[in-house]
Amino acid sequence: MIEKDFDIPFVARLAQREKQIQQHYRPVIGVHKWFARRPGTLFRALLLAEFANEQPLADRFFSGHDLGPLIVGDPFMGGGTPLLEANRLGCHVVGVDVNPMAYWIVRQEIADLDRQAFRAAAQQVINTVEAEVGTLYQTTCVYCGNPHASVKYFLWVKQQSCANCGKPVDLFPSYVVAKNQRHPNYVLLCPLCGTLNEVERLDKSPGSMRCTACQGHLIVKGPARRNRCVCPHCGHLNRYPQGQQGPPVHRLFALEYYCPTCKPTHQGRFFKTPDEVDLARVVEAASRLQASSQKFIPDDAIPPGDETTRLHRWGYRTYRQLFNPRQLLGLNTLATAIAAIQDETIRHALLTVFSDTLRYQNMLCRYDSYALKIVDIFSVHGFPVSLIQCENSLLGIPKIGSGGFRHFVEKYDKAKAYCEKPFEIYPGKPKQTVFIPEERIGAHLVSDFPRPQDPKSAYLQAASADTLVLPPASLDAVLTDPPYFANVQYAELMDFCYVWLRNHLTDDVPAFRLASTRTEDELTVNLTEGRDITHFTEGLSRVFVTFTHALKPGGPFAFTYHHNDIEAYLPIAVALLDAALVCTSTLPCPAEMGASIHINGTRSSVMDTIFVCRTTGTVRASQFDTTREALERMLRADLNKLQMAGLTPTVGDARCLLFGHLVRLTVWSLRSTWRNDAPVADKLERVRKALQQIYPLDLLHRLATQTLSSLSDIDPLASMRVKEAQTTYDTDDEISF
């Protein structure tokens, strides 16, 4: 059982390493972007702890297993991690998600693919596109005069007309194009003539740095900050954005390119100020776009939303406005070439690559002046609009840069190679890649609930999970990663890809006949859509009840969760109580990278609580001790085990783990008197009061802080303490439910 055999330090160590470079540990996720993917090592460990307990978890983890004919369900499959791990272990899988993009991504991850045919078709597409638009991504090298140097990135600055004099104003927040960490010098733009200059160091004293072209003063800070910009022509203070004027205008001001002729003797990167030919190609692209069919370019409007409203403030009203003419021309050319591929399986794979490439082929991408690379649109879980935008090469340069179609073809191929030959990375020194030939990712895609005697099957549905009709007591386990309250607006973000992909898949895939991935059934709190905590609770409860009904008695219903606000845990408790599930254990596991752009500096937890729940079973009495001392003891034990894994828990981590323990205790305390038919508001209030009765909610942060500060550095006795904590299962009184 998970409660006895799950090795927290071992799994935490693996999960933390996986999250630092997840595509290295689980290349299958390279099929397509999805948000907040949990570590695959976690779900592998949960399955092996529950169903393959012939030896300690750390020993069985790196060997092959076949758990067929077990059936594992996931009602919120998202990017599919729990299902992929179950499928790899030989299980049938049942997955559902209300978002058509999630359905499509998991389908493509688990479907078989002729990789040789895929690579050949991809090269055919690349050759076609290169012949048609390749010259638009070339420039002349400033050192050797090579007219066919490849552009990596085009850098654009937003402009708007001065409200006083009407002249264009560049909205530069800084004139530093590149820093000197990965290039020998700083690269600065001259604010007077627009020439790029290289300097060894930044000297901010007046007149200390001068432009090599016009001898004007080079400065670091630009005029645009805090939504205000002074006009350099008349001195008027303008405000931005001016969304009522339409989408922003951009001006090309710099290129980073690659010259294979000069590279052997050149230090650093290649930067240049756009010349007349570069600017002429911008005009040429717009003219060619106007004359083209534009068949595959979406004209869909951007609906209001918690994230998309930011786009409206900047004047964006349709998705096509998020791309410049060269991008639209190139993407339409690429989509047309893919549509000509006759083999449906190969075409669908290339369309998935196309969809994922969109993240780096739009005018919301940014240029990282430190790392000297493009930053994709979903680097944060929203639609960030900056003042400097980065246009990427459409196809990409082989082995150079990132985000081009070529790069994504390679990534997809590596993902499917991993499906054929999955591996684990043993955390030794040096690390070892351990291939597991007995396992593979792949299944028959079926349209009905799988039978145990069938070949390994995947039953996937694009629907709300509570509408699925599942046979009673048919699932051996439910493993899932439910939506995190209001943290990620999945549909608003995924519509960005969906509106392009839908143009190709409407006839092939019924799920893509909808105008949008947005639906009132989506389980996220969304103020724009009027979806509040009541909506989230009702939907979560219906799904938990549906999948618990399909779960075999005593089977594990395990899911991950974390949030900074205790209010976000109230729906979890209500859903568990409505489904008559008892939380038999809560376990900590790393779930995020602390350095992730969307989480860095927010004091958010990088730990998940894994809720392990069952309808029947036996639990330790000490698990339901609600005294302050018991809470401190349980939290300290979790934190000690994370320390044993080499991690340094934060107050945010401690707080989230504490929330998990409180939910577990609250569910136990309310289960015998719970009324499913009570109004949702009453249920939420009852849970809130029960939490408050166990421990004052306004003191939880203090308790987390005090417990964390009381920890000593990990020492050799820590493993003994953890071992003693694990053996209490055998000495505690047991409670049946």
The pLDDT value given to residue 520: 84
pLDDT over 80 (residue 196): yes
More confident residue, 721 or 338: 338
Q: Where are the alpha helices (DSSP H) in 57-203?
A: 57-60, 81-88, 100-110, 115-133
Is residue 586 classed as helix, strand or coil in its secondary structure?
strand
Longest dimension (CA), the chain: 84
| Domain final residue pick, 358, 388, 408 | 408
Q: Are 623 and 664 in contact (CB under 8 A)?
A: yes
DSSP notation for 217-237: BP-SB-SEETTEEE-TTT--E
262 plus 156 within the same structural domain: yes
| Residues 246 and 366 reside in one and the same domain | yes
Q: Is residue 503 part of a domain?
A: no
Contacts of 334 (CB under 8 A, 6+ apart): 125, 129, 354, 394, 405
> Which long-range contacts (C-beta less than 8 Å, at least 24 apart) are formed by 267-270?
267/184, 268/182, 268/183, 268/184, 268/185, 269/178, 269/182, 269/183, 269/372, 270/141, 270/142, 270/143, 270/149
DSSP codes of every residue in 698-710:
GGHHHHHHHHHHT
pLDDT score at 596:
47
Least confident among 289-298, 518-527, 578-587: 518-527
Query: What local confidence, expressed as pLDDT, does residue 719 receive?
Result: 45
Claim to verify: residue 57 and residue 141 sit in the same structural domain = no
Q: Is residue 502 part of a domain?
A: no
Is 493 inside a domain boundary? no
Q: What total number of domains does the chain contain?
A: 2
CATH number for 471: 3.40.50.150
Mean per-residue pLDDT of the chain: 92
Q: How far apart are CA 36 and CA 381, in angstroms?
A: 9
Question: In sequence order, what are the residues at sequence separation of 6 or more whose Cβ sits closer than 8 angstroms to the Cβ of residue 387?
Answer: 157, 158, 171, 172, 173, 224
118-158: per-residue pLDDT in tens? 999 999 999 999 999 999 999 999 999 999 999 999 999 99
HSE-CB of 122 using CA atoms within 13 angstroms: 25
Residue 353 sits in the same domain as residue 446: no
pLDDT at 729 over 70: no
pLDDT at 489: 84
Residue ending a domain, among 393, 408, 423, is: 408
Residue 435 in any domain: the answer is: no
How far are the Cα atoms of 96, 284, 674 from residue 569, in angstroms, in the given order?
23, 55, 17
* pLDDT for position 601: 47
Regarding whether 479 and 343 lie in a shared domain, the answer is no
Confirm whether 38 is domain-assigned: yes
Q: The tokens of 399 are what?
A: 């082995």
| Same domain for 100 and 201 | no
Residues 580 and 451 in one domain: yes
Query: Is there a contact between 572 and 561 (Cβ–Cβ < 8 Å)?
Result: yes
Helix or strand run (H / E) with residue 435: strand 432-435
Query: Which pair of tokens denotes residue 76?
Result: 């919120």
pLDDT in tens, 529-543: 778 899 999 999 999
pLDDT for 3:
93
- Report pLDDT digits (tens) over 447-488: 999 998 999 999 999 999 999 999 999 999 999 999 877 667
- Report if residue 413 sits inside a domain: no
Model-level pTM? 0.93
365 and 467 housed in the same domain: no
Closest residue by Cα to residue 487 from 374, 596, 333, 411: 596
Residue 367, pLDDT > 90, answer yes
The Cα 248–Cα 548 span in angstroms is 50
Residues 159 and 288 in one domain: yes
pLDDT at residue 508 tops 70: yes
Are residues 323 and 274 both part of a single domain? Answer: yes
Q: What is the pLDDT of residue 736?
A: 86
List the alpha helices (DSSP H) in 319-458.
Answer: 325-339, 344-357, 405-420
- Give the pLDDT confidence score for residue 603 in this predicted structure: 58
Please tell me whether residues 28 and 133 are part of one structural domain.
no
Q: Indicate the SS3 state at residue 526.
A: strand
| SS3 state of residue 75 | coil
In a domain, 420, yes or no: no
Residue 36 has pLDDT above 90, yes or no: no
Beta bridge partners of 392: 153
Boundary residue ending a domain (408, 430, 450): 408
Residue-wise pLDDT for 681-718, tens only, equals: 999 999 999 999 999 888 888 988 998 888 876 544 44
Lowest mean pLDDT across 253-267, 321-335, 488-502 = 488-502
Do 257 and 393 lie in one domain? The reply is yes
- Domain extent, residue 61, equals 2-111+442-488+524-736
pLDDT, tens digit, 9 for 90 and up, residues 101-121: 999 999 999 999 999 999 999
pLDDT, tens digit (0-9, with 9 covering 90-100), for 644-686? 999 999 999 999 999 999 999 999 999 999 999 999 999 999 9
pLDDT at 593: 64
pLDDT at position 595 over 50: no
**E-strand stretches of 505-603:** 557-561, 582-590
Residue 35 lies in a domain: yes
pLDDT of residue 718: 45
Query: Is pLDDT above 80 for 527?
Result: no
Alpha carbons 697 and 199: distance in angstroms, whole number? 55
What are the pLDDT digits (tens) for 299-343?
999 999 989 999 999 999 999 999 999 999 999 999 999 999 999
